[in-house]
Amino acid sequence: MIVDCHGHYTTAPGELAAWRKAQIAGGVTDLRITDDQIRESLEGAQLKLQRERGTDVTGARTIICTLKAAASTATPTRLMPHESFARFARKEEKMTGSRRFAFAALALLAAALPPGMPAAQELKLAHFMAPTHPYHPRVFAPFTDEVEKATGGKLKVRIFPGGELGANPAEQFNRAVDGVADISFVLPGYTAAQFPRILLMEYPGVAKSPEGAARGLWNARELLEEEFRRVKLLSMWTITPGAIYTRERPVRSLADLKGMKLRVASSVGGDLVKAWGATPVFTPVTEVYNALQTGVIDGVLIDGGAALAFKLIEVSKYVTVGMQSVLTTFALVMNRDVWNRLPADQKAAVEKATGLAMGERAFSVWNEVSAKGIEAIAAAPGKELIRLAPPEAARFDAISKTVTENAVKALEAKGVPARKIVSAMAVN
C-alpha cells in the first residue's frame, strides 16, 4: 500500500511497481521507502480520506498520490505529481481484486459512521512563496481563520507554502484544476495564453488607479469567468506598478534601455519592455535574484515591494520609477468539484472571506510593502532611486498607451470583447 502525507492510498501489489517505474521514467532515481511507511495503517489512511472526502468513495479510483519523500531518504526526492501517476497507473494495469477489496472496505467504513455525524473538512491551499512572504501571514492566514470561525470549525483550510504541493509557479492553476490543491494562488501572467482577458488589467492605463484595480477586476468578473470555468474564482487583485531594477546601468531615459535584457512576469510586461527598446526575458520570480546576481539578465520589471520581499535590493544598484507600468495580476481559485461538494453555509463562509474584500486587503498589504521597498532603496548606501523627469516619463507613457491600444485591438480581432472588459475594469 502507498500512503501519502494526506492519507491518499493505493493497495494493488502491482501499483508499487508501476509507481516506481513512473518515477524512474520521470528521472527520479532515489526511491527508498521504509517498510513502516508501506505498512502505515490502512485504517488511519481511510479515516483521513473519509474526513477529507466525506462519504463520497466513488472517486476513490482516481485519488492516487505519490508517496512523499521518505523520512529515511537522505536526498530530497522529486516525485511525479499524482495526476501524472494516475494516468500512468491506469495504463499499466487493470482493476485488481485487492483494490476492489480496499474500496469495499472504505465503503463499509463510511457506512459505519453514525448517521448525521459532522465531519470537519480540511482544504489545502497552495502557494509558491516562502512563509515569510507578506501574503502568507497577512492575506492567506486571516482567510483560514475567518473560514474556520464562520463554520464553527467544520471547514478548515491548511496552507502549503513554498510550492509544497508542486513548486513550479506556472503550474499553480493546474494544481487546483486537477485537485492536487483545493485552493491555489495563481499568477495568470505565467501562462498568459490561458488568460488574455484578466491580463488586460496589467496594461498601463486600464485601471483608473492601482488602488482601484481590485475593484475593477471584481467589477469585470462576469466577463472573465470564461477563463476560470474549470475552477471556482474566489478573488483577484494586482500589486503596485512595476519599476525597473538594474544591476549595473542606470535607466534615466528610453535610450538607456537599448540592448538591455529585462525580466518580465507576463506577455504584457514583454510587450511593454520590447516597445521601450529592451529585450524581455520570461523568468519566474523565484529565479530572479540569482539571474540578476549572475548577470543572466540586466534588470527586472517588477514593483517596489520586490526590493525587500525578494531581496532584490541586494543585487540591484539602480531602481527607476515614475512611468506608467505593468500591474501584475493575481487570482485565488478553487477546485470546482470540491466547491460543489461544500454545503451552502460553508460556501457562504468562503465567499465572505474572499471576493473583493480579500483583493483589497491583498493590495493594501502589498502597497505597504512596496512603499517600504522604495524607501529602503532611496536610503541604502550605494543604491540610487531614479525618478524620471516629467518629459521623459511622458515619452515612456506615450509608448505604453500605444501598446495598450494595440493589445485591445488584437483581442477584439480574435472575438474577445476587450473594450467591454476594459470599460468594466475602469472603475474608481
pTM: 0.72
Where does a domain end: 112, 144, 178?
Answer: 112
218 shares its domain with 355: yes
381 and 252 share a domain? Answer: yes
Q: Do 12 and 61 fall within a single domain?
A: yes
Of 28, 220, 16, 194, the C-alpha closest to 99 is 16
* Burial of residue 414 (number of CB atoms within 10 Å: 0-12, 13-18, 19+): exposed
Map residue 83 onto helix, strand or coil: helix
Q: How many structural domains are present in the chain?
A: 3
Q: Indicate the burial class of 42 (C-beta count within 10 angstroms; 0-12, 13-18, 19 or more).
A: middle
Are 282 and 383 members of one domain?
yes
- At 155, phi and psi to the nearest 5? -130, 120
Q: Tell the residue number behind the cell numbers 495568470, with chain if given.
A: 188
State residue 119's pLDDT score.
62
Rounded to the nearest angstrom, the gap between the alpha carbon of residue 423 and the centroid of all alpha carbons in its chain is 27
Which of 316, 319, 301 has the alpha carbon at shortest distance from 263? Answer: 301
Read off the C-alpha cell for 242.
512595476
Q: Are residues 377 and 251 in the same domain?
A: yes
Q: Is 225 found in the same domain as 183?
A: yes
Looking at residue 35, what is its pLDDT? 35
Pairing between β-strand 261-264 and β-strand 279-282 as defined by DSSP bridges? parallel
CA dist 423 and 207 (Å) reads 9
Question: How long, in residues, is the chain?
Answer: 428
Question: How many whole angstroms separate alpha carbon 10 and alpha carbon 2?
Answer: 5
Give the domain extent around 251. Answer: 242-328+371-425
Running along the chain, 428 residues long, what does each successive block of 10 average in pLDDT? 39 49 49 36 40 39 32 33 40 42 44 50 96 96 98 98 93 96 96 96 96 97 97 97 96 96 95 97 92 96 94 96 96 98 98 98 96 95 96 97 98 98 92
Q: Both 138 and 227 in a single domain?
A: yes
Residue 132 has φ and ψ, to the nearest 5°, of -80, -10
In sequence order, which residues have a C-beta less than 8 Å from that of residue 45 and are 6 or more positions away? 1, 3, 7, 8, 9
- Going from the C-alpha of 224 to that of each of 139, 144, 216, 237, the distances in angstroms are 23, 25, 12, 13
- Angstrom CA distances, 423 to 205, 221, 239, stand at 11, 12, 20
Identify the pLDDT of residue 377. Answer: 95
Same domain, residue pair 158 and 91: no
pLDDT value of residue 167: 87
315 DSSP 8-state letter:
T
Handedness of CA 280, 333, 170, 285 (dihedral sign): positive
Residue 134 in contact with residue 309, Cβ under 8 Å?
Answer: yes
What is the pLDDT, as a whole number, of residue 8? 39
A 10 A CB-CB count for 24 gives: 12
- Under the phi-then-psi rule, with left for phi > 0, alpha for psi from -120 to 50, and beta for the rest, what region is 322? left
Query: Are residues 284 and 382 part of one domain?
Result: yes
User: How many CB atoms are closer than 10 A to CB 426?
Assistant: 16
Looking at the fold, whether 234 and 355 belong to one and the same domain comes out as yes
CATH number for the domain spanning 312: value is: 3.40.190.170
Instruction: Out of 112, 145, 171, pick the residue that ends a domain.
Output: 112
Domain endpoint, select from 74, 92, 112: 112
pLDDT at 160: 97
Q: Is 91 exposed, middle or buried (0-12, 13-18, 19+ CB in 10 A)?
A: exposed
Closest CA to 388 of 250, 206, 264, 241: 250
* Closest-CA residue to 291 (of 163, 274, 282): 282
Please check whether residues 255 and 350 belong to one and the same domain: no
| Residue from 267, 273, 210, 268 nearest 246 by CA | 273
Q: Are residues 262 and 397 in the same domain?
A: yes
3 state SS of 333: strand
Rounded CA separation 38/341 (Å) = 31
